[in-house]
Amino acid sequence: MVHDISYLRLKLARAANVCYYAVILSQVLIWTYVCVDFSGTNPNFEQTVDLEIRGGGQWPQTEPTADQLARPLMVDARAQSQTTATNEHKKASSQRQAEDWNKYFSPLLGHTILPRNPWIVLNGSYIENPSRICTQHLDLDLVVVVHTAPYNFIKRRMLRESFSPPRLPRPYTAQVVFMLGTFNSTTVDPAKELNLTAEIRKYNDIVRMDFQEHFRNLTYKAMLWLRWLDEHCPNALMVLKLDDDVVMDVKKVLPLSRGLFSKYKRSIFCSTNPKGTQPIPRIGRTCVDPREFTGVKIYPYTYCSGFIVFLSRDLISPMAKAVRRTPMYNVDDVFMFGMVAKMAGNVTYHNIGYNITLWHDKVYNCTVSDGLGCRYYGTMAKKDNHAIRMYDAFDRIHRYDFKIPTLKVV
């Protein structure tokens, strides 16, 4: 009886393993279909298969005999005809793709790019426009533009509080402005929309336009803040672009607007990705359509990791002009801080990757152990409780300037 139970357990364990790997394989195949085969066929897919077939055989274990060498080769006529038809289909498919990609080639960029409609933002009307929020300040040291999702109420509240007294060091001034799109009727939450409307009326710091909220439409938000800054915020010394899940040590950041950053013109300060170092993703959630950057494996631009980016104010107008002649690309970091910046010309990148990081636990441990000596100015905190803990740590070191006991990060 015990033997039968053990045998049954072994069978169930093996079956569970088979199911697990089957699920993983299916997910890989789904992403491959969605991303690699996005345009119907991938120009490199057939070539890859052919290489695998040619390289997948094994050397014969023994040397063939004279009889085997003399034996006539039996050729299956049906298989040969199928192979010929397949090759003709591949050739015709490649020709169609070549014609398709030639249609998308951009002489301005030197590579292929899909046609999109940037004019809904560049020429469209604002749904919400706090047009005087910058000019209400006589001197504005920093304007903070934030990519946010409509229902991220807590994240917006924490950012407003972080760039206002008492966290804002005197005599510096800052203004936070949030960029939003819209939901369609199937994804909108009526109760949350009422809360959002009340928030807009209360704070008057949300810029909104009629484009669909989606992670592949973040380029619209980038174009939105660039246009809005050029039209309505001429008096800021510096521009800081953030995602809404970023936490900043504001008392460290604000003095830079009048100090170090003010010495540089037409400059971008960020964690830089140098030209020719970042591969273009062809699979996964953020995959790039094979009709874009056709034949290109590495991004031919220097660009920024866009969660924290400082820009000198004198770049806004040149970039606002350049964005109107730059073909739109739906990876916002590459588009705005790579393609548009290059089109604007004469832009200098300054890498501050040593002082910012995506890992909030690293910043927290550094802050509680080194106090004001911690090298980090900001980080990303996806969870609200992590952001609250980071702000609390920043407040305590600036209030007392002593070491905080190290806490275990959960």
3-state secondary structure at position 266: coil
Are 309 and 365 found together in one domain?
no
Same domain, 396 and 251: no
Asked if 169 and 264 sit in the same domain, the reply is yes
pLDDT band at 70 (very low <50, low <70, confident <90, very high): very low
Poorest-pLDDT segment among 99-113, 184-198, 251-265? 99-113
Same-domain check for residues 236 and 364: no
pLDDT for 39 equals 35
Whole-number average pLDDT of the chain: 80
Q: Which of 120, 131, 318 is nearest to 224 (CA)?
A: 120
Question: Where does a domain end: 316, 338, 353?
Answer: 353
Q: Is the whole model's pTM more than 0.85, yes or no?
A: no
Judge whether residue 207 has pLDDT over 90: yes
Q: Structural domain of residue 150, as residue ranges?
A: 119-353
* Residue 98 covered by a domain: no
* Residues 237 and 295 both lie in one domain: yes
Render pLDDT for 361-376 as a digit per residue (tens, 0 to 9): 999 999 999 988 899 9
Residue 103: inside a domain: no
Angle at 378 between CA 377 and CA 384, to 5 degrees: 145
Cβ contact 266:347 at 8 Å:
yes
Q: What angle do CA 279, 347, 216 make, to 5 degrees?
A: 45
Residue 387's closest CA among 271, 275, 244? 244
- Give the chain's radius of gyration (CA, Å): 28
342-356 as b/e: b if 16+ CB within 10 A? bbbeebebeebeebb
The verdict on 238 and 174 lying in the same domain is yes
Whether residues 197 and 341 share a domain: the answer is yes
SS3 label, residue 239: strand
Which of 113, 147, 126 lies closest to 211 in space, CA to CA? 126
Examine the domain organization and report whether 344 and 372 are in the same domain.
no
CA–CA gap between residue 338 and residue 71 (Å, rounded): 63
- Between CA 269 and CA 350 the distance in angstroms is 5
Same domain, 220 and 155: yes
Q: 367 with 296, same domain?
A: no
Structural tokens at position 160: 């407003």
Residue 317: CATH number of its domain: 3.90.550
Structural domain includes residue 370 = yes
Most confident segment among 65-69, 161-165, 229-233: 229-233
For 214-261, write each residue's pLDDT tens digit: 888 999 999 999 999 999 999 999 999 999 999 999 999 988 888 888
Spatial neighbors of 209 by CB under 8 A, at least 6 apart, are 120, 121, 124, 125, 126, 127, 180, 181, 182, 220, 224
In a domain, 39, yes or no: no
H/E stretch holding 173 reads none
> So what's the pLDDT on residue 285?
81
Q: What pLDDT score does 259 carry?
A: 83
Cα angle: 47, vertex 48, 51; to 5 degrees: 85
Residue 12 has pLDDT above 70, yes or no: no
Does residue 197 belong to any structural domain of this protein? yes
Please give the structure tokens belonging to residue 265: 């013109």
Map tokens 């030209």 to a residue. Answer: 275
Q: In this structure, is residue 74 part of a structural domain?
A: no
Question: CA 410 to CA 399: how far, in whole Å?
Answer: 25
194 belongs to a structural domain: yes
What is the pLDDT, as a whole number, of residue 169? 84
Domain count, the chain: 2
Mark whether 179 and 325 lie in a shared domain.
yes
